[in-house]
Amino acid sequence: MYKRLLVAIKRGRENEKHGITARGRPRQGAYETSLVTHMGKSIQSAPCGHQSNPSNVNSMVNTCLDRNSLEFSCPVCRKAWEWRQVKGLMEISQAQMAVLEGRVHQIVESHPDVYKKCPSCCCVLKRPQDSAGQPCLSVQCPQCPPPRQLCWACLSPWLFPNEAGAGHCSNGSCELVAMLLNCDIVTDPKSKVYGYPLFRACPKCHCLIMHTGHCKYVRCAECEHRFCFICLEQASQCSQAKELYFSLFCKKEIADRQRFEAAVTKQ
């Protein structure tokens, strides 16, 4: 019995290095439960069935974010964890979670060819690949009830006119929106719109505009509408904060990458 006890202790120490103990798959619905060990550590069951230590999950998340990666996975079985699942395994304050959410958002914005957010539930989506290793044209949001199939380029609904076909995007302006969602960000630290998308669409006529210099306000060559490149508000409204006129910042909420659907939708 003493020998078996030593083996159990040794195995527990080895598993604790990963912050996870392999105890098989729990009962249905059990991975939302948690327990506290004799060491005072909170243990929660992960989606893959293994049990996780929040402090180790926190460390893993920060390591991934430092590498500009959202490739979270179980240290035992290497099964991929989605960001929405990882958040449930962490024990941090709301302020700390807000900081991490900001870092995740920045990674999504900086890598639009790999990550996007569902326009309905904001779930982080990773572009899937087909059996040949090629990027798929559509992606399924696992969080929306029922699961939604979206165009990867513009995040509009993906239509399947017949079961045998591969389907197509429903948005008549797919190419334009794809440019807005997938363009690079401004990398010149001297630019007044540093860190923001390279292209914006005029809020009035949807004409593509690229910031070329000077302040954060731009004028559409098509309809003469003048707006802030950061918050997309009309210039006369945004510029009321005169102390920030030539600043990189806005008092208004920063606008996300734009997406809209044309009046005429593909069938």
Q: What are 55-89's pLDDT values in tens digits? A: 889 999 999 999 999 999 888 888 888 898 899 88
Residue-wise pLDDT for 114-149, tens only, equals: 999 998 888 999 999 988 889 999 999 988 888 889
Report residue 238's pLDDT band, with 50, 70 and 90 as the boundaries. Answer: confident
DSSP per-residue letters across 112-169: TTTEEE-TTT--EEE--B-TTSPBPSEEEESSSSSPEEEETTT-PBEE-SSTTS--EE
**What proportion of the chain, given as a percentage, has pLDDT over 70?**
76
- Whether 265 shows a pLDDT value over 90: the answer reads no
pTM of the predicted model as reported, rounded to 2 decimal places: 0.65
Predicted pLDDT at 21: 47
Q: What is the mean pLDDT of residues 82-104?
A: 91
DSSP type of residue 244:
G
Could you tell me the two tokens for 115?
Answer: 């990550």
Q: What does the chain come to in residues?
A: 267
Predicted pLDDT at 61: 93
Which of 119, 46, 133 shows the shortest CA–CA distance to 82?
46
Q: What is the mean pLDDT of residues 165-176?
A: 85
- 3-state SS, residue 3: helix
Average pLDDT for the chain = 79
Q: Sign of torsion, CA 89 95 98 99?
A: negative
Cβ distance 83 to 90 under 8 Å? no
Sorted by where each begins, the domain ranges of the chain are 15-101, 111-170, 184-244
Which amino acid is it at 46? A
Report residue 251's pLDDT band, with 50, 70 and 90 as the boundaries. Answer: confident
β strands within 50-130, DSSP E: 51-52, 72-73, 80-81, 115-117, 124-126
Which of 31, 84, 97 shows the shortest CA–CA distance to 58?
97
| Cross-strand bridge partners of residue 219 | 226
Predicted pLDDT at 23: 45
- In whole angstroms, give the CA distance from residue 55 to residue 40: 12
Rounded-to-5 percentages of helix, strand, coil across the chain: 25, 20, 55
Residue-wise pLDDT for 172-197, tens only, equals: 889 889 999 989 888 888 888 888 89
Could you tell me the two tokens for 192?
Answer: 């007044």
Intra-chain end-to-end CA distance of the chain, in Å: 71
Which of 187, 153, 146, 191 shows the shortest CA–CA distance to 172?
153
Q: Which residues contact 188 (CB under 8 A, 6 or more apart)?
A: 194
Report residue 46's pLDDT band, with 50, 70 and 90 as the boundaries. Answer: confident
